[in-house]
Amino acid sequence: MPAARPAGAGVGLVDRYGRRATDMRLSLTDKCNLRCTYCMPAEGLEWLSKQAVMSASEIVRIVGIGVGRLGVRELRLTGGEPLVRHDLVDIIAELRRNHPELPISMTTNGVGLAKKVAPLKAAGLTRINVSLDSLHEETFTKLTRRPFLDQVLAGVDAAWAAGLGPVKLNAVLMRGINDAEAPSLLAWAVERGYELRFIEQMPLDADHGWTRRNMITAAEIRDLLSTDFVLTPDPRARDGAPAERFEVRRRVAGSGAGLGPVLGTVGIIASVTEPFCSDCRRTRITAEGRIMSCLFSREEFDLLVLLRSGASDDDLARRWQDAMWLKPKAHGMDHVGLDAPDFVQPDRSMSAIGG
């Protein structure tokens, strides 16, 4: 067990490896209306009770502590599926009232998004990321186990039209299912001005079906795209972001890279083969108010029980700092390696952690 946070560790959410978490990811719910194969089992999971999940006022208080005392500079709302929370718009409005300058983004599967974009924007949401693994009805339904592609596409367009851009799209590539679709998905995205990111599948599925051999790697993704496109590193600083970004140009037979116009940007999130843990700036709060210092943490620290027992903001801030001090170096361990022999997949699925 590593030593506890020393008195002189400094302000904010610092850890033993010299990182400072400024990017807060907050799960609003563990519930979801899709059943993506890389995340949830077909039958779903046993949902948390309403009482177990943070209320709107508890969320607002916790975010207030993060921003006001601990140096949180940006907030991402996630889940489960944040849109299934009935008080979502009220939560965002209250957060915005308290933190006029805070970037507040949301990651969503886009189901039912189209009719909510106007209130979300009006409440103060800054921008949105939507998961979209396929443009083909059949493939989409196979991957998500639900026939909602049209709703997701309508949601993406509506988000852009409502000014919730830049709209980023997340696609997890699965071998033999949607990997061959990578170039057409990218062509579709750049044509509309969306930033597509391809994501390496991580071992966070409730079914525990992940294998290193079967996952599509970042190198394969670059290769898959290279027939149609030329990718060159995006000159903008990566700044701790999971996605490595590339400028996208169409490959024209007989011409070299850089000759055609830049069509847009693509990101590759290579959590497995090209990890970015040494630059990690994340702190996570699960829907039931537990601090997870890393996506793969096996240790969680309860903030909500403390809050409900009447703790002061000082006590809560200290608990959060203590938890973050113990943040693992990478992938829940003291070294990188989601395929290392000592890696143990967390009991929680991505949906239950808050992706």
Ligand X SMILES: Nc1nc2c(ncn2[C@@H]2O[C@H](COP(=O)(O)OP(=O)(O)OP(=O)(O)O)[C@@H](O)[C@H]2O)c(=O)[nH]1
Ligand Y SMILES: C[S@@+](CC[C@H](N)C(=O)[O-])C[C@H]1O[C@@H](n2cnc3c(N)ncnc32)[C@H](O)[C@@H]1O
Annotated binding site for GTP: 25, 76, 107, 168, 282-284
> Measuring CA to CA, which residue among 298, 324, 318 is closest to residue 306?
318
Per partner kind, with CB cut-offs from 5 to 8 A, the member of ligand Y, ligand SF4, ligand X, none near residue 205 is ligand Y
- Cis amide prior to 328 (ω within 30 degrees): no
Minimal distance, residue 136 CB to ligand Y, in Å: 17
Nearer to ligand SF4, 106 or 280 (CB): 280
Contact residues for ligand X, defined by CB under 6 A: 76, 78, 105, 107, 129, 168, 170, 199, 241-243, 269, 271, 282, 295, 355
- C-alpha–C-alpha distance, residues 337 and 274, integer Å: 10
Q: Which residues are annotated as a binding site?
A: 25, 32, 36, 38-39, 76, 80, 107, 131, 168, 202, 277, 280, 282-284, 294
Q: How many Cα atoms occupy the beta-carbon half-sphere of 86 within 13 Å? A: 1
Task: Fill in the DSSP letter of residue 215.
Answer: B
Q: Which residues are annotated as a binding site for [4Fe-4S] cluster?
A: 32, 36, 39, 277, 280, 294
Minimal distance, residue 343 CB to ligand X, in Å: 13
DSSP structure string for 312-347: -HHHHHHHHHHHHHT--SBTTBBS--TTSTT----S
- C-alpha–C-alpha distance, residues 73 and 64, integer Å: 11
Per partner kind, with CB cut-offs from 5 to 8 A, the member of ligand X, ligand Y, ligand SF4, none near residue 201 is ligand Y
Residue nearest to ligand Y as judged by C-beta position: 355
Nearer to ligand X, 199 or 326 (CB): 199
Nearer to ligand X, 12 or 260 (CB): 12
- C-alpha–C-alpha distance, residues 355 and 353, integer Å: 6
